[in-house]
Structure 1
Amino acid sequence: MAKLQKGTFTGQAGGHGGDIKVALTTDGEHITDVKIVEQHETPHVGDNAFKWIPERIVHYQSLAVDAVSGASFTSRGIINASKQALQAAGGDLADWSQPVPKPPVVAKDQTVDVAIAGGGLTGLTMAAFAIKNGLKPLIVEKNDQVGGSFRYAAGAFATVGSKKVADNQIDDLINWVKELNTHGAKKEMDYDFLRYLEEHTGETFDELVDIAGSKPQIAQEAPYKFAVFGGGAFIVNALEKYIKDHGGLILPDTVITRINVDESGKHATGFAARNAAGCFTVTAKAVVIATGGESYGHKEDLVKTTPSLEKVHVFNEANPGNTGDGYGLLKEAGASFYEGNIYKNAFLDFGWPLRISYANVPDYSKAIVVNDQAKRFTNEAPFFALNLTTALYYEGSPRYYVIYDAAKMDQTFRKKLDAQKEDPKVVVHAGSVKELAEKLDLDPAALEQTVAGYNEACAKGEDEFGKDAAHLESLDGADGYYGLYTMPGSWGTIGGVKINRDMLVEQTDGSFFDNLYALGEMSTNELFSDFYIAGFSLANYSTEARLVAERLAAN
């Protein structure tokens, strides 16, 4: 090994939530320790990165370690901070960049009760509820850690009938969803299916709380209630521990290559899988496909359903592993699909340096949103906040901006903006509308006309796009304006494979497999219109898993 200075050296680099600081210790010839001494990441999301990456750097004496899937920003922050510390110790990065092998995985034939493809929320809850019902599950996960998109989630459950929290009344909840869809929904949904699942969500929630050993609370009272007992990453860790502690199997870094079906064509016998150690077969009494939607690598399919998306910069918040793998497996097995998927709308997203997530979304209900023609096109304070994102999908503009009046916006958020270097892909500040337009490469006359028209609407208390008077606040610009580049966010996709109320997969001839199930985002066409509703995914996907597990145990 190349010589290093002996001692402890620090390095610092950007992570997901802010800078990560590490302390790297050497004995003059080897890296003997890497410690995280400061970080601002979302609790639990980067836990495996904080554990695995320092261990691998020390074990392999190399900084050429792979990022942990689902924690890539955190991983890069740790690695880059370690590189900086190594250089401070006199190290040449070229001498400390030997290839690092992936952790060993097992490739041997398995026989279980329930074979599960995908280790996100749905796959984990399926395995946990299978265990609670006396069944032996196996999860195959293509990433190096389980959790998928659920790791980033707030952990909100929109439930009915919980005995642990005072949650929703079923009729009130369904009626609110119906009211939501009167505000411009273009796609139908099945209210009876939603009611069926929601009526069972309280029991599901209560059992998950017991598994996690946590304390639940109501986190939102209106317009409907949702309950939490920890963020998504916390719940992932609790479920993973429960599964492993009770004999369940989890195989990471493994992909499924085929669903095996017997000669009848109606019965799945398991699936074929492959990882770095080789190929193997999983034989099971039931097969559950829970690999998520197709957020990545399939925009052309989403554009076919929603042509206006062609030029829109959609910010995908789903796990990069959501590439529609399960859809391909099910198509090969003869499954029937709904026509076209659509994006699951999230909050608006902003330039990465602002580090805005669901936990600190700024209030833009009194601001205006303009397209690349500097025109308003929608109500910025719609019936439900997420509806604004859907409006950006349908508008079809290649760029959007949120325009704030500097003096009237949240001043804490303003200070955050002032700390940023001006960048039209992040934020700019200007003393006049004309200057703002020039900095954002918009037509100054068009933006001046838009702002003047909006101020006139504020004075009259009437807006052409239906914004209510309480949110009509003029943009006077006494202290200037801020323009923020914004993107419609997405938490996944809506659509997928056809299933019945037992969650069994429908075949192309209209019949159903007798033991092949598709859960969670694999099949959401009837659960949502084109308006996603926060808290409904976790509640309903986990309830599908519980109901299937109980049905399998009963048979």
Structure 2
Amino acid sequence: MKKIGKKITAALLLLLSISFAACGTKEPAAPETPETPATSEEDLFTPGTYEGTAKGYHGDITLTVTVDENNILEIKSEHTETKGLGDKAVSTLTEAALEKASLSMDLVSGATYSSQGFLAALEAALVKAGADIEKLKVKESVEVEKKDQEFDTEVAIIGGGGAGLAAAVSAHQNGAKVLLVEKMPNIGGNTIISGSAFNAVDPKRQSAQGIEDSVEKHFQQTYEGGDKKGDPELVRVLVENAYPTIEWLESLGMKFTDKVFTVLGALWPRSHKPVEPLGTGYVNTFMNYINEHKDDITVLTEVEAKELLVNADGAVTGFLAEGKNGKITVNAKNGVIIATGGFGANVEMRDQYNTIWPKLTNIKTTNHRGATGDGILMAEKINASIVQMENIQLLPMGDPETGSLSGNIEQGVENRIFVNAEGNRFVDEGARRDVMTRALMEQADSMMWVIVDQHSYPTGDTVNNFNETIDSLVKEGRAYKADTLEDLAKQIGVEPENLVKAVEAFNASVDGAKDEFGRTLFMDKLDTAPFYAGKRVPTVHHTMGGIKITPETRVVDQNGEIIKGLFAAGEVTGGIHGANRLGGNALADVHTFGRIAGATAATEGNE
């Protein structure tokens, strides 16, 4: 249970939007009073304590709500929502409901399903309190004085995901005053909901595990893994600066585990995992720095950039934006960094540029809802070169209900197999992401089961890469558990004989037999109960096309000339990964080029 007081200041609301405290301890639900109508026409509620339950992202959200005639006095919550995201949504919406009894609250960015579950549970409780639900859902029209604003800064950044935050910190470290705008209510973008893997050649960690690697190997796998369509200069910058960027993050206080692994589609064990869940470690690290330097770094949320400002010489000098209370003009002495992410959540843009996949209209995405390609469109309007937009990455690892990567039971490439609806393997599970996804699309219902055993989950409270325990996933029906492969097969509806044969063949390959699909990445056999299965489908994950940049992150126009004062970093850029991005290279890209963009803009400006 979690108990939160009624009053909250604006400062605390801001803190809740960028900090990710875990849920408090849970208590038994308070007894519920009988359902009765409100005591008078003027009253909102019948005083008492009521309980409401609804499905969140990871199971039920149960709220115990205490009300008087016109106020929500207390909300206690019981849930298993993801630490760092879902629990933040519950906390933020609880405070909003206590501040003003209403059901018209906005969903928390990055935690849509948790937000919807909270509101549904609150509604269920307030129905029992005799509330007029439709009245509570009506947003009050508050007269807010529209006031245009103008800001002067040195480096202006559009986008508050990993690339934008990295750029903000780097620019400040290099002596610049910084202003960052983010159109969503919360900071974090796709980074905060990512699986968090960061590829880098790391002699210290890899040698401790007996792993041989080199920057050249990382370069070759990245370049060739993208069908040699990536810009070699940009690939070289990425692989040579990835580990220094990890060291930079560590210097800011971020912590990574000592063990590297092979994330899906990484092709080699060089993926680093943060200690904090999902991508919260990256965001918290940057926000801690930003909060310590508020005099020089300004962050504005719910501000959507609309148009780049260009002077008579063709240099970008700022941008126009729309805020909640009026128009905003940002003047940037040194220039503007676009870090708005890709367009994975923009179905129209996906359909417009897709030439390599079947129709993507009805395919869900791992991306947050703000990944709509805004920065690409703004840059294109001032003649920026836009490249390789057809290169859209799909993953075979989407949640069947949401498209999210959460709920995925794999811990690394080496210790799991994929089987189709018949219980048969169908692909090299260590292959490129596009290869695996194409193979999955050829299976019945484009669906597969991930199979692991106790090697991946020594105990029931072992967490996956999204900080979800395997026991919780089984309880929620998102994973299945059995002491035998035959029983597991029956639970998931595949042919037991096929599943047993698939596992036996895999185990033989671990011992050195040639794998029928050419797989080369192995560690442990699947031979120790309990065995687990999790269902997965294709999902849109990353858009490799976007704004063309130089190795210093300067934006190039359609004539090949540099656009003065304009920089770009992260998924909004194109030409780094080519036709296929290696797993674990996105966060390396985002933070490496974000760091470079901040330094370049701060020190060289619009020269």
TM-score range, shorter chain: 0.7 to 0.9
The equivalent residue for 1:236 is 283
Alpha-carbon distance in 2 for matches of 1:495, 1:341 = 7
Q: Is the 8 A contact 1:399 1:485 kept in 2?
A: no
The equivalent residue for 1:495 is 545
Alpha-carbon distance in 1 for matches of 2:492, 2:166 = 51
Q: Is the 8 A contact 2:396 2:436 kept in 1?
A: no
Please report the RMSD computed on the Cα atoms of aligned residues, expressed in angstroms: 4.6
Write the letter of the residue equivalent to 2:272: F
Quick one: structure 1 residues 9 and 504, their matched pair in 2 at CA, closer, same or farther if it must change by over 3 Å? same
Write the letter of the residue equivalent to 1:322: A
1:329-383, CA deviations, whole angstroms, 9 ceiling, x for partnerless residues? 0110101121333234546123349997277437896644348x99865223x25
Write the letter of the residue equivalent to 2:436: A
The equivalent residue for 1:465 is 517
Write the letter of the residue equivalent to 2:199: A
SS of 1:516's partner is strand
Write the letter of the residue equivalent to 2:270: Y
Alpha-carbon distance in 2 for matches of 1:531, 1:136 = 34
Once the two structures are overlaid, the 10-residue window that deviates more, 104-113 or 273-282, is: 104-113
Quick one: structure 1 residues 509 and 182, their matched pair in 2 at CA, closer, same or farther if it must change by over 3 Å? closer
SS of 2:370's partner is coil
The equivalent residue for 2:436 is 391
SS of 1:125's partner is helix
The equivalent residue for 1:267 is 315
Q: Is the 8 A contact 2:201 2:243 kept in 1?
A: yes
The equivalent residue for 1:512 is 562
Quick one: structure 1 residues 312 and 172, their matched pair in 2 at CA, closer, same or farther if it must change by over 3 Å? farther
% same residue: 25
Once the two structures are overlaid, the 10-residue window that deviates more, 2-11 or 141-150, is: 2-11
Alpha-carbon distance in 1 for matches of 2:507, 2:284 = 49
Counterpart pick for 2:119 among 72, 79, 84: 79
SS of 1:548's partner is helix
The equivalent residue for 2:580 is 530
Cα offset, 1:152, TM superposition: 1.1
Once the two structures are overlaid, the 10-residue window that deviates more, 331-340 or 484-493, is: 484-493
The equivalent residue for 1:150 is 191
Quick one: structure 1 residues 547 and 415, their matched pair in 2 at CA, closer, same or farther if it must change by over 3 Å? closer
Once the two structures are overlaid, the 10-residue window that deviates more, 170-179 or 23-32, is: 170-179
SS of 2:190's partner is helix
Correspondence 1:177 to 2:218: yes
Counterpart pick for 1:330 among 363, 372, 379: 379
1:2-22, CA deviations, whole angstroms, 9 ceiling, x for partnerless residues? 353434433333222333333
Alpha-carbon distance in 2 for matches of 1:218, 1:379 = 28
Cα offset, 1:290, TM superposition: 0.6
Structure 1's unaligned 5+ residue stretches are none
Query: 5 Å matches for 1:46-445?
Result: 46=86, 48-99=88-139, 107-159=148-200, 166=205, 172-177=213-218, 180=221, 186-211=227-252, 213-220=253-260, 223-226=269-272, 228=274, 230-231=276-277, 232-244=279-291, 245-264=294-313, 266-285=314-333, 286-298=335-347, 301=350, 305-310=354-359, 314-346=363-395, 348-352=397-401, 357=406, 360-361=409-410, 367-370=417-420, 377-380=426-429, 382-383=430-431, 387-388=432-433, 390-393=435-438, 396-397=441-442, 399-402=446-449
Write the letter of the residue equivalent to 1:199: E
Cα offset, 1:237, TM superposition: 3.7
Once the two structures are overlaid, the 10-residue window that deviates more, 395-404 or 502-511, is: 395-404
Write the letter of the residue equivalent to 1:497: I
Quick one: structure 1 residues 528 and 454, their matched pair in 2 at CA, closer, same or farther if it must change by over 3 Å? same
Alpha-carbon distance in 2 for matches of 1:472, 1:204 = 32
Alpha-carbon distance in 1 for matches of 2:43, 2:424 = 60
Cα offset, 1:74, TM superposition: 1.8
The equivalent residue for 1:29 is 70
Q: Is the 8 A contact 1:194 1:527 kept in 2?
A: yes
Counterpart pick for 2:597 among 539, 548, 553: 548
Cα offset, 1:138, TM superposition: 1.4
Q: Is the 8 A contact 1:15 1:73 kept in 2?
A: yes
Cα offset, 1:26, TM superposition: 1.4
Once the two structures are overlaid, the 10-residue window that deviates more, 109-118 or 21-30, is: 21-30
Alpha-carbon distance in 2 for matches of 1:333, 1:181 = 31
Alpha-carbon distance in 1 for matches of 2:126, 2:492 = 44
Cα offset, 1:147, TM superposition: 0.7
Write the letter of the residue equivalent to 2:155: V
Alpha-carbon distance in 2 for matches of 1:186, 1:172 = 21
Once the two structures are overlaid, the 10-residue window that deviates more, 412-421 or 283-292, is: 412-421
Cα offset, 1:547, TM superposition: 2.4
Cα offset, 1:503, TM superposition: 0.7
1:160-189, CA deviations, whole angstroms, 9 ceiling, x for partnerless residues? 679xx7578999343433564698753533
Q: Is the 8 A contact 1:142 1:254 kept in 2?
A: yes
Cα offset, 1:111, TM superposition: 1.2
The equivalent residue for 2:36 is none
Alpha-carbon distance in 1 for matches of 2:244, 2:457 = 40
Alpha-carbon distance in 2 for matches of 1:237, 1:21 = 28
Between the two proteins, the alignment pairs up a number of residues equal to: 531
TM-score by length of 1: 0.79
Cα offset, 1:438, TM superposition: 12
Q: Is the 8 A contact 1:44 1:234 kept in 2?
A: no
Write the letter of the residue equivalent to 2:80: H
Quick one: structure 1 residues 124 and 363, their matched pair in 2 at CA, closer, same or farther if it must change by over 3 Å? closer
TM-score by length of 2: 0.73
SS of 1:52's partner is helix
Q: Is the 8 A contact 1:308 1:395 kept in 2?
A: no
Q: Is the 8 A contact 1:436 1:483 kept in 2?
A: no
Quick one: structure 1 residues 106 and 501, their matched pair in 2 at CA, closer, same or farther if it must change by over 3 Å? farther
Write the letter of the residue equivalent to 1:339: Q
1:234-280, CA deviations, whole angstroms, 9 ceiling, x for partnerless residues? 4324423532434422222221221111223x310111111332223
Cα offset, 1:227, TM superposition: 5.3
Alpha-carbon distance in 2 for matches of 1:136, 1:414 = 45
SS of 2:65's partner is strand
Quick one: structure 1 residues 450 and 133, their matched pair in 2 at CA, closer, same or farther if it must change by over 3 Å? closer
Write the letter of the residue equivalent to 1:77: G
SS of 2:357's partner is helix
Cα offset, 1:134, TM superposition: 2.5
Alpha-carbon distance in 1 for matches of 2:441, 2:306 = 37
Q: Is the 8 A contact 1:167 1:218 kept in 2?
A: no
Quick one: structure 1 residues 304 and 131, their matched pair in 2 at CA, closer, same or farther if it must change by over 3 Å? closer
Cα offset, 1:544, TM superposition: 2.0
SS of 1:392's partner is helix
SS of 1:109's partner is strand
SS of 2:437's partner is helix
Write the letter of the residue equivalent to 1:113: E
Correspondence 1:521 to 2:521: no
Quick one: structure 1 residues 375 and 267, their matched pair in 2 at CA, closer, same or farther if it must change by over 3 Å? same
Alpha-carbon distance in 2 for matches of 1:168, 1:24 = 54
Cα offset, 1:217, TM superposition: 3.6
